[in-house]
């Protein structure tokens, strides 16, 4: 069983194709949409939590790449700029998934990107603009 | 036997001074007792690093050829308006100033990406800034237009002058309504979704000297990474605030007006700050040394987070409508635990003031003193205390016609 958060980029020609539907029907994968967006250039962006059996997952990924969808793990897209962060901690209660926590001993802020669901609430809530999104 | 600041400064010059941060003194008093702690420790360093809106800086840019009078004209630094109501080449920039074309909250919540606080940070960081100005022209100052790059090293004077900093305690902000609200205490989630506070607690300067017995006009401080001074009580100074038995205010109390040479400050300690849906401000680093002159002063510095209480205030209705209602009080140990209980609900807490950075400032100031690079100063006058009856009044509105 694999469960991954991935970012899918759909080129313009694929925006109206039922691709995620195929992942469910043909590859028996479950999905949870975290973000769906069509850019001004009519390209599609989907942030999905995708889960299923190991083999099915791999085959599903091959299918996606085969039709021209760019796949990238989510964790690379929300970044904490450690130089700018002042460790205030105002982001911590804003984060819905517990990806931002205050370390009890040092009282510094830690960002666990594997828990991040890219909701982007922290981006604007951070007073010193230390959270960056790099989609 | 009481000590004097003069004696302490002698010890600093001789390299014999004993300094503790406001965190360390608590343990020392616990272990050794108040009497021995007072005898052995000479200085306690306190600190804070939080957003302080009533901040700004004034500059003298030097004369152009031909001469121009900015005073009475209009001037902008990186498109942010600066105040030009002084003499020919003196201007003042406030931390919350915004560009004329900033949409503010027209598309709500506004992003407030750049403003006075960021201009100050950029200036201190040594960046070139665009100065654009227009003037009405006089015989002695005929020039009417100026556009030039300026840099902090070319300015004659660049002085950080903050009318209100270092609030002595503050509120805990919550949102009782059913919509997200955007305030100077940060984004507040509906129905007690989060609780934001803003204080360094046991490290905070005025919480370690609650009756202003050592911090006064002329006190030398760590300001923005360099050296500064307390110059007056800050605006909204409220010494008659309600206090607990230990003398510590249980609501926002005293404040300080501070000043220092911007040229020796550092941009990591003066950070341009954006509060979504609210505006721009400046996060300021301040460290204040407290001379341990007697047992009473030592006892005040040994205050701990659990002995400092703050009021929980609703920022959706009570605060904006000026209703003085408290939803209860909590202490800073509870706040720093990450969760408090309000109206039987568990609410996650967030601090706007960085405690780790305050620890760093207090340690840095301690080092400066130990190395002999920083002498304490005796206040030339003391701040108004509660015995004066000085209080923070609301506006008495008197409509015109």
Q: Do domains A2-74 and A77-135 have the same CATH topology?
A: yes
pLDDT at residue A76 tops 80: no
The string of pLDDT tens digits covering residues B288-300 is: 999 999 999 999 9
A121: chain B residues, CB-CB within 8 Å: 187
B122: helix, strand or coil: helix
Out of B186, B283, B338, the one facing A102 most closely (by C-beta) is B338
The string of pLDDT tens digits covering residues B32-87 is: 999 999 999 999 999 999 999 999 999 999 999 999 999 999 999 999 999 999 99
**Residue A78 Cα, gap to closest chain B Cα (Å):** 19
**Residue A62 Cα, gap to closest chain B Cα (Å):** 40
User: Is there a catalytic annotation at residue B140?
Assistant: yes
- Report the percent of chain B where pLDDT is more than 90: 99
Lookup: tokens for B224: 């923005």
pTM for the model stands at 0.89
Q: How far apart are CA B77 and CA B136, in angstroms?
A: 19
By the 8 A CB rule, do B141 and B88 touch? yes
DSSP string of A74-128, one letter each residue: GGGTEEE-TTT-----TTTTT-TTS-EEE-TTT--EEE-TTT-----HHHHH-TT
By the 8 A CB rule, do B57 and B160 touch? yes
Residue whose C-alpha is closest to residue B115's, from B261, B275, B279, B257:
B279
| Neighbouring-strand partners of residue B196 | B173, B350
B276: chain A residues, CB-CB within 8 Å: 124-125
CB pairs under 8 A between A and B: 70
Which DSSP state fits B177? S
User: For strand B194-197 and strand B345-351, is the pairing parallel, antiparallel, or unpaired?
Assistant: parallel
pLDDT at residue B1 tops 60: no
Q: How far apart are CA B344 and CA B346, in angstroms?
A: 7
Q: Which residues of chain B have a Cβ shorter than 8 Å from any chain A Cβ? A: 49-51, 109, 111, 186-187, 189, 193-196, 271-276, 283, 336, 338, 347-357, 359
* The CATH number, out of the four listed (3.30.70.260, 2.40.40.20, 3.40.50.300, 3.20.20.70), of the domain defined by the range A2-74: 3.30.70.260
Each domain of chain B, given as residue ranges in start order, spans 56-160
Lookup: tokens for B2: 């009481």
DSSP string of B279-325, one letter each residue: EEEEEEEEEEEEE--SHHHHHHHT--GGG-EEEEEETTTTTTTT---
By the 8 A CB rule, do A66 and A23 touch? no
Each domain of chain A, given as residue ranges in start order, spans 2-74, 77-135
Predicted pLDDT at B278: 97
A42-68 average pLDDT score: 91
| Neighbouring-strand partners of residue B147 | B132
Q: What is the mean pLDDT of chain B?
A: 96
pLDDT at residue A2 tops 90: no
Predicted pLDDT at A68: 93
* The CATH number, out of the four listed (3.20.20.100, 3.40.630.10, 3.30.70.20, 3.30.70.1450), of the domain defined by the range A77-135: 3.30.70.20
Q: Which residues of chain A have a Cβ shorter than 8 Å from any chain B Cβ? A: 86-94, 102, 106-108, 121, 124-125, 127-129
């Amino acid at each position: 069983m694999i469960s991954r958060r991935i970012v899918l980029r759909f080129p313009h020609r694929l925006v109206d194709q039922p691709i995620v539907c195929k992942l469910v029907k043909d590859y028996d994968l479950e999905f949870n949409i975290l973000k769906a967006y069509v850019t001004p250039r009519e390209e599609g962006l989907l942030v999905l939590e995708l889960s299923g059996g190991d083999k099915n997952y791999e085959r599903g990924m091959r299918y996606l790449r085969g039709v021209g969808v760019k796949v990238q793990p989510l964790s690379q897209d929300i970044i904490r700029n450690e130089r700018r962060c002042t460790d205030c901690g105002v982001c911590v209660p804003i984060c819905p998934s517990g990806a931002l926590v205050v370390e009890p001993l040092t009282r510094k802020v830690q960002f666990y990107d594997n828990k991040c669901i890219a909701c982007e609430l922290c981006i604007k809530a951070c007073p010193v603009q230390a959270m960056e999104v790099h989609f | 036997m009481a000590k004097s600041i003069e004696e302490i400064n002698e010890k600093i010059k001789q390299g014999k001074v004993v300094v503790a941060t406001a965190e360390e003194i608590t343990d020392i008093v616990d272990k050794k007792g108040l009497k021995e702690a007072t005898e052995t420790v000479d200085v306690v360093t306190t600190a804070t690093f939080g957003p302080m809106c009533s901040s700004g800086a004034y500059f003298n840019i030097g004369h152009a050829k031909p001469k121009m009078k900015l005073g009475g004209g209009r001037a902008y630094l990186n498109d942010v308006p600066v105040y030009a109501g002084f003499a020919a080449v003196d201007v003042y920039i406030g931390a919350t100033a915004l560009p004329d074309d900033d949409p503010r909250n027209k598309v709500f919540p506004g992003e407030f990406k750049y403003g006075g606080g960021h201009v100050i940070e950029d200036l201190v960081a040594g960046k070139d800034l665009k100065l654009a100005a227009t003037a009405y022209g006089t015989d002695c100052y005929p020039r009417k237009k100026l556009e030039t790059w300026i840099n902090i090293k070319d300015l004659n004077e660049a002085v950080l002058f903050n009318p209100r900093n270092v609030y002595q305690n503050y509120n805990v902000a919550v949102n009782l309504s059913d919509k997200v609200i955007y305030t100077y205490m940060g984004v507040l989630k509906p129905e007690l979704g989060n609780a934001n506070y803003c204080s360094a607690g046991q490290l905070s300067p005025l919480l370690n000297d609650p009756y202003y017995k050592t911090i006064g006009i002329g006190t030398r401080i760590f300001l923005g990474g360099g050296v500064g001074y307390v110059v007056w009580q800050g605006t909204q100074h409220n010494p008659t605030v309600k206090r607990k038995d230990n003398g510590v205010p249980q609501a926002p109390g005293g404040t300080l007006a501070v000043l220092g040479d911007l040229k020796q400050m550092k941009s990591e300690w003066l950070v341009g700050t954006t509060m979504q849906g609210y505006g721009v401000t400046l996060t300021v680093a301040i460290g204040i040394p407290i001379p341990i002159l007697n047992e009473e002063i030592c006892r005040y510095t040994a205050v701990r987070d659990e002995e400092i209480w703050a009021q929980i205030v609703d920022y959706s209705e009570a605060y904006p409508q000026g209703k003085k209602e408290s939803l209860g009080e909590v202490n800073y140990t509870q706040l720093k635990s990450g969760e408090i209980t309000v109206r039987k609900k568990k609410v996650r807490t967030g601090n706007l003031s960085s405690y780790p950075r305050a620890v760093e400032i207090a340690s840095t100031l301690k080092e400066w003193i130990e190395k002999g690079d920083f002498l304490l100063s005796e206040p030339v006058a003391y701040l108004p205390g509660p015995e004066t009856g000085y209080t923070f009044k609301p506006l008495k509105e008197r409509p015109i016609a």
